[in-house]
């Protein structure tokens, strides 16, 4: 059985950087925390926990040590609290997310009302929104943007994982709402590129394995995209989740992984698929 690994499987630039920074901080020892899970991979979070890095929901009760800011970023209040408490801060916010936060801050200082295109419940969006001083609206689509009130001037940024088309639709609606609009395209194309590659691969194999946290939105979406082309698509977290029955009549299997999946997990999955194949062939 041939195993084809997607070129862009696994860590994106921002997640790779955040993970490296977290392991470096753990190596230094001392009290070390992350505000929320550093990335959406329970296995990486567990490895860090084994090295003494604790996941916190908030900074209540913490008065010393190092706090690592996750790749999605945190709210400006949380950041302020860490500064006030004189904690050592390792800011692993992805630079693309940071850019969106900075644009929101400067637009809002320049008197723009803000429209953030994204999912209001997502921590990245909550972080971005918190950097605004004045009015800020979160919209998930052009349709939602059509219900916005009239404004004098609107500044627009997007959650990094949004589609370009969605941003365009929101911009079109905002043109009807204000005399002046300023748009910053803060979309990061890592997600779109990964999905396109996975789609192409899913069409060329008889079984598709998608590796990533069950809590990772980008992995879930990756599995959905693959399933449209290859009904035998399975979303797994680790090699233990593989089932030999999936490979019964398969001669070509595709493997991809979400942006928070470490390389060692991908390697383990590939090794186990090889092992299952060897067992099948006796």
Is 124 designated active site?
A: yes
Q: In the chain, how many H helices and how many E strands?
A: 10, 12
- Locate 64 and state its tokens: 């010393």
109 or 164, CB closer to ligand F3S?
164
State the catalytic residue, choosing from 81, 124, 173, 237: 124
CA distances 145 to 10, 102, 110, Å, are 33, 22, 22
Phi, psi of 246 (to 5 degrees): -65, -25
Of 29, 73, 86, 72, the C-alpha closest to 53 is 29
Tell me: does residue 125 bind ligand F3S (CB under 6 A): no
| DSSP H/E element including 266 | helix 263-280
The binder of ligand F3S chosen from 191, 230, 233, 256 (CB under 6 A): 191
* Residue 103 annotated as part of some ligand binding site: no
Q: Which is nearer to ligand F3S, 210 or 259 (CB)?
A: 259
Binding mask 49-88 toward ligand F3S (x if CB under 6 A, else -) reads ----------------------x-----------------
The residue among 6 and 148 lying less far from ligand F3S, judged by its C-beta, is 6
Q: Is 15 in the site for ligand F3S (CB under 6 A)?
A: yes
Choice from 36, 69, 73, 96 touching ligand F3S (CB under 6 A): 96
- List the interface residues with ligand F3S, window 248-277 (CB under 6 A): 259
The answer to whether 256 is annotated as binding is no
Strand partners, 116: 138, 157
Count of beta carbons in the 10 Å neighbourhood of residue 86 = 9
Near ligand F3S by CB under 6 A: residue from 6, 8, 10, 14: 14
90: CB partners within 8 A, 6+ apart? 21, 22, 25, 66, 67, 68, 69
Reading the block at residue 140, the tokens are: 């998930």
Is 207 annotated in a binding site? The answer is no
Q: Cα separation of 208 and 204, whole Å?
A: 10
| Closest to ligand F3S by CB, 40 or 235 | 40
Annotated binding site for isopentenyl diphosphate: 40, 72, 122, 216, 218, 260
Applying CB under 6 A, the residues found at the interface with ligand F3S are 12-15, 71, 94, 96-97, 160, 188, 190-191, 259
Active site amino acids: 124
């Amino acid at each position: 059985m041939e195993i084809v690994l997607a070129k862009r499987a696994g860590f994106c630039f921002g997640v790779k950087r955040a993970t490296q920074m977290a392991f470096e901080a753990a190596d230094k020892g001392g009290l070390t925390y992350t505000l929320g899970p550093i990335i959406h991979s329970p296995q990486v979070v567990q490895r860090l926990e084994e090295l003494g890095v604790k996941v916190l929901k908030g900074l209540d009760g913490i008065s010393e040590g190092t706090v690592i800011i996750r790749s999605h970023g945190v709210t400006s209040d949380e950041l302020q609290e860490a500064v006030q408490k004189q904690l050592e801060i390792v800011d692993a916010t992805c630079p693309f997310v940071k850019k969106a936060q900075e644009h929101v801050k400067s637009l809002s200082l320049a008197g723009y009302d803000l429209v953030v295109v994204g999912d209001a419940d997502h921590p990245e969006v909550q972080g971005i929104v918190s950097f605004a001083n004045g009015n800020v609206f979160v919209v998930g689509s052009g349709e939602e943007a059509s219900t916005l009130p009239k404004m004098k001037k609107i500044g627009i940024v997007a959650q990094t994982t949004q589609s370009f088309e969605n941003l365009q639709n929101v911009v079109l609606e905002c043109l009807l709402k204000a005399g002046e609009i300023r748009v910053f395209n803060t979309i990061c194309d890592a997600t779109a590129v990964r999905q396109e590659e996975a789609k192409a691969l899913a069409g060329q194999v008889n079984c598709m394995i998608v590796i990533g946290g069950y809590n990772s939105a980008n992995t879930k979406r990756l599995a959905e995209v693959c399933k449209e082309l290859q009904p035998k698509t399975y979303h797994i977290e680790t090699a233990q989740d593989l089932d030999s029955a999936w490979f019964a009549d398969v001669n070509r299997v595709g493997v991809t992984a979400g942006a928070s999946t470490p390389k060692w997990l991908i390697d383990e999955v590939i090794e186990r698929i090889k092992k299952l194949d060897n067992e099948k062939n006796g």
